[in-house]
């Protein structure tokens, strides 16, 4: 079974590539966005933490347990956001998908494109059998990305995670190779 996580993927409109230390300021700006903060907890707050995160996720890529890609505009190289495969479990044939976009990159299908590229790679390059995605029940934009990419809503995980001092429910979505939208 193929197990290599590609460093770079493109569909001609966007390009996925590894994060680099020099992206720290742009990543920090992405984490400061109010929509991002509304749906995230425990986000790195300063540049040093962001550099640590970039190095940690690159170690996970080298170990084969996760792939966090920066999303660039394929035409001008502008940073648009991030898409990730995390918790890659080759024995179980599963991984989780995550994504965020900078405010100016939203509203034109970039996240959907990025999820499709990452999912296709997960099924073909890594040979995984199932991808999972969880999101807040009030995160309509994220649910729309999941559904446009072919994910099916499978249920509600009650009190799924610690969140901003309490616990939060999550919707759970699943994607099988045959669900992947063209
Ligand atoms: C979740 C998030 C990435 C969604 O971003 P988005 O821009 O709405 O999603 P997409 O990039 O797929 O774009 C879809 C929008 O572009 C439009 N669009 C235009 N061209 C399109 C195309 N070729 N393909 C798909 N959509 C297209 C869609 O109609 C949709 O617009 P609408 O919201 O007005 O219906 C963004 O809201 C975000 O960064 N949120 C904060 C982080 C977050 O919540 N992450 C998910 C945690 S679970």
Beta strand ranges found along 11-49 (DSSP E): 14-18
Query: CA 161, CA 170: separation in Å to the nearest integer?
Result: 8
Query: What does the pLDDT read at residue 44?
Result: 81
Q: What is the pLDDT of residues 65-94, one digit of tens each?
A: 999 999 999 999 999 999 999 999 999 999
Q: Quick check: is 171 in a domain? A: no
Among residues of the chain, what percentage have pLDDT more than 70?
97
Q: Which residue, by CA, sits nearest to atom 1 of ligand 1?
A: 142
Distance 111 CA to ligand 1 centre (A): 6
A 10 A CB-CB count for 158 gives 9
Task: Provide the domain count of the chain.
Answer: 1
Structural domain including 48 reads 9-129
pLDDT category of residue 181 using cuts at 50, 70 and 90: low
Cα distances from 61 to residues 6, 68, 126, 166, in angstroms, run: 9, 8, 12, 31
Pocket around ligand 1 at a 6 A CB cut-off: 35-36, 39, 99-101, 106-112, 135, 139, 141-142, 145, 148
Q: Give the CATH number, domain containing residue 91.
A: 3.40.630.30
Q: Which residue, by CA, sits nearest to atom 7 of ligand 1?
A: 106
Q: Quick check: is 148 in a domain? A: no
Tell me the pTM: 0.97
Cα distances from 133 to residues 13, 129, 145, in angstroms, run: 24, 14, 11
């Amino acid at each position: 079974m193929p197990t290599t996580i590609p460093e770079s993927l493109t569909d001609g409109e966007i390009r996925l590539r590894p994060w680099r230390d020099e992206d720290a300021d742009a990543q920090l700006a992405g984490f400061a966005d109010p929509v991002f903060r509304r749906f995230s907890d425990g986000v790195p707050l300063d540049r040093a933490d962001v550099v640590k995160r970039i190095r940690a996720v690159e170690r996970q890529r080298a170990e084969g347990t996760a792939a966090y890609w920066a999303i660039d505009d394929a035409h001008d190289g502008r940073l648009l956001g991030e898409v990730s495969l995390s918790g890659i479990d080759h024995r179980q044939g599963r991984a989780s998908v995550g994504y965020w976009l900078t405010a100016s990159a939203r509203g034109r299908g970039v996240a959907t494109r990025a999820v499709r590229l990452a999912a296709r790679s997960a099924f073909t390059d890594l040979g995984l059998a199932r991808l999972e995605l969880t999101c807040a029940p009030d995160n309509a934009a994220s649910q729309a990305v999941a559904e446009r990419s072919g994910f099916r809503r499978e249920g509600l995980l009650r009190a799924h995670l610690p969140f901003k001092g309490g616990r939060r429910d999550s919707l759970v979505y699943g994607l099988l190779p045959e669900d992947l939208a063209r």
